[in-house]
């Protein structure tokens, strides 16, 4: 499993606190303060990107997030000091995973990122088991995009939570099968009952 978390921030205190929290879970935080360097670092076995909105201009942020989504299949979390619904909408249209208002406890960020990494890895295993090189799966005429984990219906992206998406992928990968409650819990929540 990839163990590097790429953090784009100019706040030393944020880097230090997240580095400590992620180190406790066996991850290593690679920090950069330069958006261009961020794109280079993504090629170095990165499990997730955490982007501090205070670190770059809005235009640069959109450019980098678009690049990440077009070239990498990793969780992307945005950290911001305040909510701005127009900016959030634009970022979610680029398929970020989370928009988090800080301050937030470091452990919460770690738990969210670990859950996202688990989700991405689980979905990757489901696709790999099918032996498919396709970029989407069609399930009852609903295209499920595998490259950015989105669901399209009538030219609209449906807003699914990661759990809903995991459940959908599990059900879609087991067509015409009866699925037990235990199987659903194991597939989406990792519970071993």
More confident site: 193 or 24: 24
Closest CA to 97 of 88, 85, 105: 88
Can you tell me the distance from the alpha carbon of 137 to that of 134, in angstroms, rounded to the nearest whole number?
Answer: 7
| pTM more than 0.85 | no
How would you label 54-71 residue by residue, b for 16+ Cβ within 10 Å and e otherwise? ebbeeeebbebbeebbee
Can you tell me the distance from the alpha carbon of 111 to that of 114, in angstroms, rounded to the nearest whole number?
Answer: 5
pLDDT digits (tens, 9 = 90+) for 10-67: 989 999 999 999 999 999 899 988 877 888 888 777 888 888 888 788 888 899 899 8
Closest CA to 117 of 174, 72, 65: 72
The full set of domains in the chain, from first to last, is 4-117 (3.40.50.2300), 132-189 (1.10.10.10)
């Amino acid at each position: 499993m990839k163990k590097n978390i790429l953090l784009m921030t100019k706040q030393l205190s944020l880097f230090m606190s997240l580095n400590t929290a992620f180190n406790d879970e066996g991850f290593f935080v690679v920090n950069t303060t330069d958006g261009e360097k961020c794109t280079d670092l993504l090629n170095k076995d990165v499990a997730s990107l955490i982007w501090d909105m205070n670190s770059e201009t809005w235009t640069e942020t959109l450019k980098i997030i678009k690049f990440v989504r077009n070239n990498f299949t990793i969780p992307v979390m945005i950290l911001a000091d305040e909510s701005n619904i127009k900016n959030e909408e634009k970022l979610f249209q680029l398929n970020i995973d989370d928009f988090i208002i800080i301050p937030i406890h470091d452990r919460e960020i770690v738990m969210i990122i670990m859950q996202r990494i688990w989700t991405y890895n689980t979905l990757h295993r489901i696709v790999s088991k099918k032996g498919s090189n396709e970029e989407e799966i069609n399930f009852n005429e609903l295209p499920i995009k595998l490259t950015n984990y989105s669901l399209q219906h009538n030219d609209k992206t449906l807003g699914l939570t990661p759990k809903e998406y995991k459940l959908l992928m599990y059900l879609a990968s087991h067509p015409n099968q009866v699925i037990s409650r235990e199987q659903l819990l194991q597939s989406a929540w990792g519970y071993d009952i």
